[in-house]
Structure 1
Amino acid sequence: MIGKTALLEAIAGKNRGLLATDADQRAILAAVAQLEDRNPTPRPVEALDKLDGNWRLLYTTSQDLLRVEQVPFLKLGQVYQYVRANAAKIYNVAEVAGLPYLEGLVSVAARFQAVNERRVDVKFERSILGLQRLVDYRSVDYFVAQIEAGKTFTAIDVSLENRDRQGWLDITYLDDDLRIGRGNEGSVFVLTKVN
């Protein structure tokens, strides 16, 4: 598909948006809009088999994520979104590199609820911020399995269930290996399926 290829070429080398100039961003957002117009899954929230799995972030305009690079000695590593569609759960995991032996991670667990065929409301439930070594981080799959098993970590591990932290996400494009979403803060997310 030409639209998909054009988008992937536009975001290549942009380090998830960290290296995107204003001109790059305009070109990427134009490619995103063209692809959204050709969404092969008109009711993405109902396509649980396509939504389910581990997704890796390719590009975003989210300043909350990109801001990590502004902290001295920190570099944003891979960012994943693990979707458990049948359980209506999402696990966001950002790997953070820094000084040797001080690699960290930032994770947020959330529950989602369909609002319509494209939009989900997201309610954040738990936040984990810590060093990869102290939380025994081996892979995103292993880490999510530990969270689902109810493990508490040697980290800043905070329940968000009694707080009003929530948002929404529109899934504007979904196929077997690419997903585009637009969040309530105006951010765009382009992700590729890992498994």
Structure 2
Amino acid sequence: MASLVLQSSLTPNFLSLTSSPTSTSYSYFHLPLNPIRLKRHSFTRRRRRSFVLRCATGGVSVREPPPPPPPDLEGSKSELIESLKFKLLSAVSGLNRGLAADEDDLRKADSAAKELEAVGGPVDISVDLDQLQGRWKLIYSSAFSSRTLGGSRPGPPIGRLLPITLGQVFQRIDILSKDFDNIVELQLGAPWPLPPVEVTATLAHKFEIIGSAKIKIIFEKTTVKTTGNLSQLPPLEIPRIPDQFRPPSNTRSGEFEVTYLDADTRITRGDRDELRVFVIS
């Protein structure tokens, strides 16, 4: 048995610590002057050696060092999101915004989008409303695989009966005025030898937020503006069809859900299962 004796320089009293091969225990005498108290602990050598040493006069304590901090989970998630965004953009690149997509392309794009949506988690537009602001460029729409401007909705065919070439498509969103404009660049064929006519059609809407991630848009008007050689011409507002003559399927409103949103990428899913991918422009 080993014995260790500590002597205080201020008093002749002693504090003894006794240890044995299997266990160690602490005990103390009552000291009349400047006592040093050692908190009673009992533990075996096989257990964690965790103890607290307290001084009655100075209030000093010595504890085990804290455990190491957890790994940077947020950093790992950010890297994974960037990787999945690259995978999605790679899946839709070369598809001419979906006009050249076949069934296999549609499945790959949908699968890549679902992976990013799952890691990104639920979208709450009320929290991330500022990230909607700006001009967004459409880089993919699953509905364009139908080869019509309306996608799964009625719309003029592209490159069939009408000589229409689809250019860039944008969404311009203003969160203060609640403006939501779909902007489409088109090239209209003309009889030879006249050059094609380039126009920009702006479909103006107002929007409102439904729930946490769904947006409802209400159509207001369509304005067409010539560009290129005819850019000097004034814009033309296309008259709206009166409601009594409007086909039942041609409604003035639509809804879609924002399934992923960050500072430069947005994914939406429409009310007719249309997947759209946008990047900020």
Query: Normalized against structure 2, the TM-score is what?
Result: 0.57
Larger fraction in helix:
1
* Of 79, 85, 90, the match for 1:4: 85
Q: Residues 124 and 183 of structure 1: is their aligned pair in 2 closer, same or farther, counting only changes over 3 Å?
A: same
Unpaired segments ≥5 residues, structure 1: 138-152
Kindly name which structure, 1 or 2, has the bigger radius of gyration based on alpha carbons.
2
Amino acid at match of 1:10: A
Q: Distance in 1 between matches of 2:242 and 2:203?
A: 12
Identity across the alignment (%): 28
- Whether the 8 Å contact between 1:40 and 1:174 is mirrored in structure 2 is no
Name 2:74's counterpart in structure 1.
none
Query: Normalized against structure 1, the TM-score is what?
Result: 0.80
Unpaired segments ≥5 residues, structure 2: 1-81, 152-156, 190-194
Amino acid at match of 2:90: E
Question: Does structure 1 residue 155 correspond to structure 2 residue 155?
Answer: no
Which shifted more, 90-99 or 12-21?
90-99
SS at match of 1:87: coil
The 5 Å alignment of 1:42-121 reads 42-63=123-144, 64-65=148-149, 67-99=157-189, 100-121=195-216
Which shifted more, 96-105 or 10-19?
96-105
SS at match of 1:23: helix
Aligned residues: CA RMSD: 2.5
Name 2:41's counterpart in structure 1.
none
Name 2:25's counterpart in structure 1.
none
**1:60-93 CA distances to partner (integer Å, 9 max, x unpaired)?**
0224535434453221000010010122111111
The 5 Å alignment of 1:149-188 reads 154-159=235-240, 164-188=251-275
**1:118-155 CA distances to partner (integer Å, 9 max, x unpaired)?**
00111111112453366659xxxxxxxxxxxxxxx542
Q: Distance in 2 between matches of 1:2 and 1:88?
A: 33
Name 2:116's counterpart in structure 1.
35
Name 2:27's counterpart in structure 1.
none
Q: Distance in 2 between matches of 1:35 and 1:70?
A: 35
Amino acid at match of 2:255: W
SS at match of 2:158: helix
Name 1:145's counterpart in structure 2.
none
Amino acid at match of 2:163: F
Number of positions where the alignment pairs a residue of Structure 1 with one of Structure 2: 179
